[in-house]
Structure 1
Amino acid sequence: MTKKALQDDDMHGLRRTGGRTWSARLSIPRDRWADAGKAFGTTSGIKQEVIRSLGTQDAKEAIKRRDKALAAMREDLDAKLVKAGFLPIHGHWQPDWMNEDQLLTEALEARREIGSVSDSDDFYDNQTGASDSPRDRVIESMDSLLEDRAQELERAGKDGDQYRVRFKEIALGNQTPFSLMLDRWMKDRERYASHSVISLDRATLNHFSRYLAHSQGREEPEDLIGFLRTQIVEEVPEMVLGGFSEWLMDDRGLSAKTAGNRITPLKVMWDFAIQKHILKGPNPWVGATAGLKRKAGKQKPDVRPFTEDELLKLLQSDPSKCKRWAWGPAISDMMRLALFTGARQNELATLTVGRILNRNGAEGGLWGIQVTDEEAKTKNAIRRIPLHPLVQPIIARRLREAGEENIDAPLFPDCVPGGPGMKRG
């Protein structure tokens, strides 16, 4: 670049007035001249530029003062435009890298890159004694990029130093955004946890996100998981973590048992992050549910068995006379099947035509039901259960209604799928 070109570049945004004093000159885009003219109330109805004196006749000093003056002028121009009912001078546009999600993405990518290269010195200067490593050079390159971005932010009137520090703290592993822990844990969780368990995990994360926003004096975020992803793990005080259980019970009205169930996924997630060296120990959630178990024991309502008269009343009731709700026939049939098979509610509610064994009359006519891996709570629950002749008519009736030719047809279609795992019950 020639000396003249360099000087022209240095003088960009500057103007010398008649008194030899330098001024900062902010050009307004042509398509916004009319908006600016209305915002400033000019007689011509348009405004092409904003001029502000820098209070110096020295060119070098003017260059030093220019960026801050232009930033202040842009801020003032935007304020006047917004007050007049117009968009800011550049609308709501900002560089992609200023976006919080993009900052986290790029900082975590830099973190992975820094961690993947050697920190052993491979360069030596015998004259100066200086040395560096591949990791040093990656960090130096990152610092150069951040310095450029910080200066761009400062020219736009924003806190460039805050951006630079936050990016670098994450990249060097001194700060850990929840997104790093969440993404790794949830990906691992999906390999073995059921849909219902993952749904409960998400309920915990939503509660925890609300709680963090509450502890910071914020309103509830519209995107709870999105808000949680941007939080920094190390910036959450242990005292705040310790107050989560009380908040769940006092503010959200959960029982001690449910509050404990909400805390358990957080303990599991922290254990995973520590194991994978994402976080340093110890786990702050260890022992967090101990007191809740005692409280849950005290809150447990008195439970007694049905009396004989109550059982007879249940079994003798006519489900067709239950006008208020449509679950009567299903409950009536399932109570009897449960008594004679010992099967769990979901094992019965999810019965299909194909899971009825020996329905063609082989093996002496004794029918049975099959509990497969999909319905079983544990591997030991995978089994075949014979059906007593007293409850075979229930199955026969439901087989006719379902259509025996369709082996996937449900025997209890009135038990519509619902809940976290969209299962019949």
Structure 2
Amino acid sequence: MARKTAKALPRLLRLKGQTFWFARDLPADCRPIFGKKTWLTNLGTADIKIAVQRRDTLEAETTQAFAAMRAGTWNPSEALSPAARGELYRETLLALSSGSEADPDALELAVYAAESERDAYRGPQKGAFGDALKGSVEVDRHIDAYLITIAKLAPATIRGMKGHILQFARWASEKKLRLDAVSRRIAGQYVTAVIDPMHPKTAAAHLGSLRAYWGFLHRRGHIVGADAKGGPWADQQIEVKGKRVERGDKDEARPFTVDEVRTLLYSPFPPRMAAEFAPQLIDALTISLLSGMRQEEIATLWVEEVRDGVFDIQQGKTTAAARPVPIHPSLLEIVKRRTEGKGPKDWLFHELTEERDAGDILGKRFRRYRVALGVDDMREGKRRSLVTFHSARHWFAYNASISGQHENTIGSVIGHRPDKKKITFGVYIKGISEEQRQACVEVVQLPARINAA
């Protein structure tokens, strides 16, 4: 599916996150030799001017490479850019200079080889090689490799961690700081200027993301003189500043009201939104209201995970997220309609199959939907509305609770970790029966239409 961008990028450039990439399609006769259709190189910068300079260099290099492929003289090692070769030399030098197997003679030869290759380059190529050799690259230079290592985390968690790293990368770029210049003092300046003013929970998450990224950089040898526990961020403390308590300061996300649920379920679909979104939004909302499932869980369900009267959640935000959720009787029509004629690996919400992040797209579409219908609750000093798609999950838990369901049973249905301080007689540890979960689900009912007979 083609994706639109707000502004066309210069030729041969792509933007992934905040980093520019060089992308050039290979001539048809060169593809079998190269093994791929497109030559992709991470340019290691968020600055478009630098990206264009490096693109021009790579364009000349790839043109030469295509000629060499046709002549049968191409060496696959030539596919590496000067920056990539500089990183390889850096990793080699670090390996040879540390550990119990350090080899002074091999190190001396490697240093000589690195210096010789650096001197062979000219202009921007020489600068790119030299910067990579000494680790002087953009802060987010290695973020794509890092994201691969945390791919098993929940999508929302990955988005948050990536956002924190990129926010610091932008701050560092504005101050013309590169990765090798991030010291404990620089980290402290960022904590004071950016992290301290945040809400304590947001601040802790932000700092944790930076510690984790620096731990990865240390393990991969991209930084030296630090450790695997967060480098310059390891001992940074968040300053919790006291402030006057104002009205609304304690307002938290809340469940939908009965009237809000009626509005969301029974109102005519907003004319300014694409009508094709109506089934996915109403169906997903209804499932969440009657199961307490998260938007990511609903959006990515496979048909084979809807069986034997349950939504069989296999993965999620926490270890407690993997669980069977009984299918409410009022959801049988939706389930039948969405599974009919599909294979086991097809998505229940097939409309979202091609989306890069199905849960996030569903959440954004739902926000537009509820705001268009006037279901919103923005408070002064709050960045987000107190009602979101997650409010359907709160609505389920609240209605199950006021109907007499035990909190441990509700927790087992919605996938919450048990609160060990509140567990009595080992109820949660022994497990909740299928009958208890089924009763918990069925006790929750949707409000009737106001005009119902």
Q: Relative contact order: is structure 1 or structure 2 higher (C-alpha 8 Å, sep ≥ 6)?
A: 2
Q: Shorter-chain TM-score: what band?
A: 0.3 to 0.5
Which protein shows a greater Rg? 1
TM-score (norm 2): 0.45
